[in-house]
């Protein structure tokens, strides 16, 4: 592996490795970590619009839209009319809620494994640094 001082290079490499770790844990549930995160956001937010959900997740609307189409095709989310005709809201279906509940222990185990590697102090420091960069 080539060495680099580029923060972006290191962050992207780490992000791919961490995503792979969670994706492997969630593989048996038919969702990846990005989809799991989206479903968890829907659990916490009350009928978010596509725009507000994208903002909450730090995603472009187009990226969120592609992810929503996959989850909608699987029956895990539904789109409904919002307060006006220009606004659509995203709903977690009963099947989506059940999928999150089923996958949650696997996600928690993957999370615990990473915290075990880092320790809580380094995890907290990492989260703080990432929040500053975001």
Any idea where the domains of the chain sit in the sequence?
7-133
| pLDDT averaged per 10 residues in sequence order, the chain, 134 residues | 83 96 97 97 93 94 94 96 81 97 98 97 96 90
- Say how far apart CA 65 and CA 6 lie, in whole Å: 31
Q: Residue 3: its pLDDT value, please?
A: 75
Q: Residue 46: its pLDDT value, please?
A: 87
Q: Residue 122: its pLDDT value, please?
A: 97
Second-level CATH architecture of 7-133: Orthogonal Bundle (1.10)
Nearest to 89 by CA among 57, 52, 63: 52
Q: Residue 4: its pLDDT value, please?
A: 80
pTM, whole model, 2 decimals?
Answer: 0.89
- Say how far apart CA 76 and CA 95 lie, in whole Å: 5
Non-local CB neighbours of 126 within 8 Å, separated by 6+ positions: 118
């Amino acid at each position: 592996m080539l060495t680099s001082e580029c923060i972006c290079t290191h962050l992207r490499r780490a992000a791919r490795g961490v995503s792979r770790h969670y994706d492997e844990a969630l593989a048996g549930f038919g969702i990846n970590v990005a989809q799991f995160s989206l479903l968890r956001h829907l659990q916490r937010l009350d009928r978010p619009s596509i725009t507000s959900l994208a903002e909450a997740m730090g995603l472009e609307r187009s990226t969120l839209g592609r992810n929503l189409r996959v989850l909608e095709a699987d029956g895990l989310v539904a789109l409904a009319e919002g307060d006006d005709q220009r606004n659509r809201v995203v709903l977690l279906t009963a099947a989506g809620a059940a999928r999150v509940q089923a996958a949650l222990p696997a996600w928690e185990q993957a999370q615990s494994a990473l915290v075990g590697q880092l320790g809580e102090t380094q995890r907290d420091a990492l989260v703080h640094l990432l929040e500053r960069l975001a």
